[in-house]
Amino acid sequence: MLQICPSSSNLSVIFTMIILFTYLFYCLNGYCDSLPRPVYDQQSQFQSKIILNDGHEASAQQLGEYNASQVSIVREQLSDLSNSDAPSNNISIANNFGSKKFPQAIIIGVKKGGTRALLEFLRIHPDVRAVGSEPHFFDRFYDKGLEWYRNLMPRTLEGQITMEKTPSYFITKEAPRRVFSMSRHTKLIVVVRDPVTRAVSDYTQTLSKSPGLPSFQNLAFRNATTGLIDTSWSAVRIGIYAKHLENWLRFFPLSRLLFVSGERLVTDPAGEMGRVQDFLGLKRVVTDKHFYFNQTKGFPCLKKPEGSSRPRCLGKSKGRPHPQIPSEVLLRLRDFYRPFNLKFYQMTGHNFGWD
């Protein structure tokens, strides 16, 4: 009888088919998902998430250092995202390194007091994320709703705080109630300045945009002969700090507010920033090593950051030379503000020395 023995090639085919069918059987029953993946495959997935969600390809250095320091890569990606003013969708932390939150602290005033300088100084701090432009939500765009407002905010990680600044909130009657409705725990920062100097600075800014503006004294007085001050003019009205503060104290205790001296922010920026960081519960990272005084502009600038060719100063609109105002006009205005200043000192428990 003739015997047929299977060749070695046939045995290989049969063995391969047995392995293939066994693998398919286990995969169809869901066992393949539980198999461990190679480390390289896990890294590739994380890298593709960075590309898909951030919109920018991660650098070779970031990818190479991932195993050594995943947290540092996440913070670096978040910093790039949150320093951008462009709006983005409010999606989950799993997909976009952080979440959008309502601000825990707001710089609510005052115009021409030094709010922009304060915000820029604060943005040096790694645990502060702030909107670059002024949202004006609580005074102009409240009808757009809280979700619209939250979507304006940058993404933050655990331990970081979200901030914004809109100086007109301080003088807006409805703003305290609206902020309180969002969160009664919101911390409020008010940068104040000698109201006479502030009014002149306010006028100077308006004059630069409208060269045909009447003189300061014509706008400040209802009657130049009697010296009656026109409190309907916003440049004068803003400086009646005690009146505006009363409105905020109806909703927030004094402990939720910090009053920053606009004058000290110029003469001692590090000292005033120390108070601000303490109020916000932040480590004192922003110190005197970050500042130098710019003689041309007349206020402090931030020293040159690493990787930059020049220091950071506020724009041309800051530090404009003031027009000459007759001294008797300034004296009358100072007499007008004096009782309001004294009341403000009493309310805040701090003498700002404007008189």
How many Å apart are CA 324 and CA 281, to the nearest integer?
42
115 is in an annotated binding site: yes
What's the CA gap between 196 and 326, in Å, rounded? 13
Q: Please spell the DSSP secondary structure of 236-294, one letter per residue.
A: HHTT-HHHHHHHHHTTS-GGGEEEEEHHHHHH-HHHHHHHHHHHTT------GGGEEEE
The answer to the question of whether 289 is labelled as a binding residue is no
SS3 130: strand
| Residue 193, marked binder | yes
Q: Is 321 annotated as a binding residue?
A: yes
Burial profile 239-275: b = 16 or more Cβ within 10 angstroms, e = fewer: bbbbebbebbeebbeeebbbbbbbbbbbeebeebbee
Residues involved in catalysis: 112
| 168 has binding-site annotation | no
Distance (Å, rounded) from C-alpha 179 to C-alpha 248?
A: 10
Binding site annotation covers 87? Answer: no
User: Is 307 assigned to a binding site?
Assistant: no
The full DSSP string for 180-226 is HHH-TT-EEEEEE--HHHHHHHHHHHHHHH-TTPPPHHHHHEEETTT
Amino acid identity at 79: S
Q: Is 201 annotated as a binding residue?
A: yes
The answer to whether 318 is annotated as binding is yes
> Do the annotations mark residue 113 as ligand-binding?
yes
Q: Is 239 annotated as a binding residue?
A: no
- The amino acid that residue 143 corresponds to is D
Residue 292, strand partner residues: 301
Establish whether 298 is an annotated binding residue: no
Binding residues: 112-116, 193, 201, 318-322
Binding residues for 3'-phosphoadenylyl sulfate: 112-116, 193, 201, 318-322
